[in-house]
Structure formats: structure tokens, C-alpha cells
Structure 1
């Protein structure tokens, strides 16, 4: 659409995200979502303003975006919404603890894990916050 000088509005964007979700086009949907990266509050307002209750996929995509951008406060709000409307899913807690770690809030990460009765140690929160780059080698004979 953008190649034709058409800028999609919120409704068009949501319809496209929904179609990608229903069609199993996760990569394409995420690609379009990333074009709006950083507009977390706008995305939150869009999902809240829908005439029908947003689906869990849209809320979880927004929760994952909060992780990427380190937006802890919005992430907590979205996780609360997911728990309120949908069944609790362990991945939601993992994403939020990662959000804390990425934001450098390892004590909050640890507290959340302890409150959930998790056996994950504080070290794992620190490791999430300080990931090291990988490397690879190729040996030719």
C-alpha cells in the first residue's frame, strides 16, 4: 500500500494485522507491526478502542513490543488485561520478566518471579539483562 502512496490508517492496520493472524502470516504481520515500532501507546489505544474485545494475539503482540522497547509500565498494564480477560499463560509472565530485565530492573524481575512461586533464580534475570553476542566459526579442510 505504501508503494502506491497510500498511508494506512489505524483501522486498515488492524484489519491487516487480524488477517495476518488468521492466515498464519506471522512474519508478515510482525514486519508491518515493526514499521510502527515505538508507537506503543497508539497501539494500546487502538486495541482498547475496538468495538469488539481485542483478541489475545493482539494483546500479546503489544506485550512483546513493550519488551522490545523496555516499556515496563505498559507491559504490566497489558499483562493485567490478559489475566483479566483470558486464561493466564506462562509466556505472559516470561515476557514481562524479560521486560523488567531489559529495562535494567532486575530487582523487580526477581520479585515478580518470587511472587509467582517460580524456581528461577536472580542470576537468570541478570543474564537476560546482559546477553552476550554469539559467534561462530567454519573449519575448512
Structure 2
């Protein structure tokens, strides 16, 4: 997989950097979170790449990332929030879920209010405050 990074609104190839990351790790595929964690690491700080890992593509410098030599960045609150919202917004079944995510509001960097609607027992909207910051999302009172 190739990913191109640069400043906002930048489109000049010589001002962009491309990274090539292998999608397979043995027999398994890397997840989007794995790729984002590797990109965070290689895009920050100073890194020395061997000559055979640096080239150009379409006028951009291309770095071939070796995941065996890169420590992926830690999962962030934004990662947990994205995972939670994606799992609530995209049903894994073909049927329409009983409860649907209608909206959300950031209350703090680690606190999120979810607005949920259900056609079942409760009329109107239900709000739930959560802390999406660990393997188990905490539901607040």
C-alpha cells in the first residue's frame, strides 16, 4: 500500500512524501489501525533509510517502510473514538439495527456523547456519555 502525506492543500509532488507499507504480515493482513500506527511513527522524528529503501514515484520521494524495524505508535483516543463510531454506524448484519447512531458530540478529548434513536420502547432520542479510551468503552452515568 502506498500513502502520500504532505501539508494541507499541498499538491506539488516535490513537497509530498510517499510511504510504501506491505499489507501482509505473514499470512494476515494489516488493519487500517496498523497502517496508521506505522505512518505516525515514520512521519515523525528522524529516521534513516538505507539507500535501497528510498526512490521516487511520480515526482515524490518514496520511502519503503520495513515494519520489522519500526515500532508502531500507540493507539490514541481518536483511534478508539473512530473505532467506536464506525462500529455503531456500520451494522455488521444485513438487517437494520434496532438502535441507530444519529449523532455525536465531543465533550472532552476522552469523552463522547452519543445520540441514539430506537424504534422500540423509548420514544425520542437517547443520549449516552462514553469514554472511548480502552479495550472496553466505559459508559458513564
**Structure 2-normalised TM-score?**
0.26
Relative contact order, CA 8 A, sep 6+: which one is greater?
2
Answer 1 or 2: which has greater helix percent: 1
Of structures 1 and 2, the larger Rg is shown by 2
**Structure 1-normalised TM-score?**
0.26
